Structure 1
Amino acid sequence: MKKKLVILSGAGMSAESGIKTFRDADGLWEGHDIMEVASPIGWDKNPELVLDFYNKRRAQLFEVHPNRGHEIIAELENQFDVHVITQNVDDLHERAGSTNVLHLHGELLKVRSITNENHILDWKTDLILGDTDKHGNQLRPHIVWFGEAVPAIDEAIDIVETADILIVIGTSLQVYPAAGLMNYAKQDVPVYYIDLKPATIYDLPNPLEVLSMTASEGMELVKGKLR
């Protein structure tokens, strides 16, 4: 039976592919205050701005490609039972070939009804005011905004609890509840943490190796250590 390898990935995973993050310095995402474009308050205040913001992010996805880090993770399915839990809303893990991907914070290529969070549709073009579900309710980006619950967190916890190896990659470990997931790993499970600016991790009982490097560099190094 293959060992279960769990990957927790964040914004730094896709940064090499050209997708900008908002965690550095000014807290802006593509020039916008986060709360303007990634909160229910922002949506209520100016839905057109929010829709335009995500339309541009969605269009950007078709201009970028998975990086070597994504590809290595997908290739590891030949040796391990790989499960990816990502904070990212892009589809780069899937395009690289990963087959078990759980999106904690939603997906850019999906939309949902404002009245029924379980009414989810695939969506690859612009979303505008007037695009509705079959009942006439406006559609919104299928994104978990600040202040909203993370529906997939319980499934993510279950996955981490059964991991044999855990790799945390490209995350500042500042956004909860995702940042607390590593604490659910069994104490004997080795943890590799890859990030250009790694956070300081306190009181983690697991064997821990911190690699201050890009996703691609870190995955190249870690793949040679995995057994």
Structure 2
Amino acid sequence: MKGKLVILTGAGISAESGLGTFRDPGGIWTRYPLEDVATPEGFARNPALVHGFYNARRAQAATAEPNAAHDALARLQRLWRDPVIIVTQNVDGLHEKAGAEVIHMHGTLAGALCAACGARWPAPMEMAPEDTCPYCGLAATRPDVVWFGEMPYAMDEILGHLEECTLFAAIGTSGQVYPAAGFVQEALRNGAETTEINLAQTDTSGAFEHHMTGPASTVVPRWVAALVG
């Protein structure tokens, strides 16, 4: 096989690095109501709660290390003769720690955003409601992450890659959240081969041609080895 590869990754690829998934039993959304910590309305109601939630996640991500799945995708990006586009729903930065280049469709814990002027800058380890924007001076800072009800980043770029790819793979993602859940359909419309790698079946499993089941740190390196030889 040759040609552009597009790989979508979700929380499942980072679970073995000690970072929690969202929708599994015991996942983040069973402990924190998403409407309180992952919506613009929740932030408006209680910005201190939301900043505290993301401060804790930022601190956890800062000490986490990439696992064999992250390392394997970085290796694939280095060795594949054509472009390998990694699109991640994760905000933890582990792909970059492994040496990969990624498109962050849901933003990143490492970024801060001004809700007033749209400026972006590296986030400090701890953010608070009273923090002021270094550009406009207003106390309107928030984590640079995409919340429910907001448009994911770089969608035009991602859809363009899906139109051009020969293989689309989804790794460790629940297949429940759009628009990412629709990426497999976009790829199929353009004639791409499709592969799903996950612990179990998902809501979109039926759309994929190929399936690999098991822990990402075991299955992804095996998949990459088969691709690169």
Do both proteins adopt the same fold according to a TM-score greater than 0.5, normalized to the shorter chain? yes
- Give the aligned partner of residue 53 of structure 2: 53
2:169 corresponds to which of 162, 167, 170:
167
CA distance in 2, matches of 1:188, 1:109: 36
Query: Which consecutive segments of 4 or more residues in structure 1 shift more than 6 A?
Result: none
Whether the aligned pair in 2 keeps the contact of 1:20 and 1:30 (CA below 8 Å) is no
Name 1:199's counterpart in structure 2. Answer: 202
Q: Shift of residue 3 of structure 1? A: 2.7
CA shift, 1:150, in A, is 1.7
**In the superposition, relative to structure 1, how do residues 35 and 180 fare at CA in structure 2: closer, same or farther (>3 Å)?**
same
Pick which of 10-19 and 27-36 moved more: 27-36
Q: Displacement of 1:197 after TM fit? A: 1.8
Q: 1:20 to 1:4 in 2, by over 3 A?
A: same
1:12-59 CA-partner distances (Å, limit 9, x unpaired): 011111110121146643721111100011101100000011001001
Q: Distance in 1 between matches of 2:129 and 2:59?
A: 17
d(CA) in 1 for partners of 2:206 and 2:91? 30
Q: Decide whether the 8 Å contact of 1:166 with 1:189 is kept in 2.
A: yes
Further displaced range: 216-225 or 23-32: 23-32
Match of 1:183 among 155, 177, 185: 185
Could you say if the C-alpha distance between residues 93 and 202 of structure 1 is closer, same or farther in structure 2, counting changes exceeding 3 Å?
A: closer
Cα distance change, pair 75–169 in 1 and its aligned pair in 2 (3 A): same
Q: 1:146-165 maps to which residues of 2 (within 5 A)? A: 146-165=148-167
Structure 2 Cα separation of the partners of residues 211 and 79 of structure 1: 22
Please state how far the C-alpha of 1:209 moved relative to its aligned partner. 1.1
TM-score, length basis structure 1: 0.90
Q: How many residues align?
A: 222
Give a deviation string over 1:53-97, Cα, whole Å, max 9, x none: 100100111221000000000011232221100000110001101
Amino acid at match of 2:19: I
2:141 counterpart (139, 142, 149): 139
Q: Label 1:16 to 1:202 Cα distance change in 2 as closer, same or farther (>3 A).
A: closer
SS in 2 for 1:224: helix
> What is the match of residue 221 of structure 1?
222
Closer, same or farther: CA 46–196 of 1 in aligned 2, 3 Å: same
Structure with greater helix percent: 2
Corresponding residue for residue 107 of structure 1: 108
Residue by residue over 1:169-209, the C-alpha shift from the partner in whole angstroms, topping out at 9 and shown as x without a partner, is 001100111111121115542222101022154764x7x21
Instruction: Tell me if structure 2 keeps the 8 A contact 1:170–1:195.
Output: yes
**Aligned residues: CA RMSD:** 1.9
- Whole-Å Cα distance in 2 between the matches of residues 28 and 156 of structure 1? 27
Aligned match of 2:210: 209
Q: Is the 8 A contact 2:5 2:84 kept in 1?
A: yes
Percent identity at matched positions?
A: 39
Aligned to 1:125: 125
Q: Deviations over 1:120-161 (max 9, x none)?
A: 111142011221113222210001101112232221111121
1:226 is paired with a residue whose SS is helix
1:109 aligns to what SS in structure 2? strand
TM-score with structure 2 setting the length: 0.90
3-state SS of paired residue (1:173): coil
User: In 1, distance between residues paired with 2:172 and 2:210?
Assistant: 14
Question: CA 1:123 to 1:28, structure 2 compared with 1: closer, same or farther past 3 Å?
Answer: closer
